[in-house]
Amino acid sequence: MTETNTPVYVRACALSELPAEGVIGVEVAGEPVAVARAEGEIYAMRDVCSHAEVPLSEGEIYDHTVECWLHGSCFDLRTGQPTGLPATEPVPVYPVKIEGDDVYVALTMNKES
């Protein structure tokens, strides 16, 4: 039998809480999560800069990028990869689903066999 991983989604926030282009910080299952809207799409990533350990949700959104407010490190919202120094390490990104006005984020996976 083959094992598959299925996301375990937890409600993060209301879609109506997100700015038209921007990011908010929330806590999901005890983890800091930045939920962002960019160009009509919703993204979620760990809300901690890999360079300076400050909240990315306090940064600015442009294109599909969040810019850390402290030193200007930039991260791709789709992949978590740094796109601008001084950060060199990615931040985790999380699957997102929308149900009605609710944004759900999956931090963990269930193993099914």
pLDDT along the chain (113 residues), means of 10: 74 97 96 96 97 95 94 96 94 97 88 52
**In angstroms, how far is CA 19 from the centroid of its own chain?**
15
Q: Rounded to two decimals, what is the model's pTM?
A: 0.91
Burial class (CB in 10 A: 0-12, 13-18, 19+), 6: exposed
Whose CA is closest to 55, among 65, 63, 64, 47?
47
8 A C-beta contact, residue 4 and residue 112? yes
Q: What phi and psi values does residue 22 have, to the nearest 5 degrees?
A: 170, -170
- For residue 33, give the 3-state DSSP assignment: strand
pLDDT at 113: 45
Contacts of 67 (CB under 8 A, 6+ apart): 59, 60, 61, 73, 74, 84
pLDDT at 84: 84
8 A C-beta contact, residue 66 and residue 75? yes
Any idea how long the chain is? Answer: 113
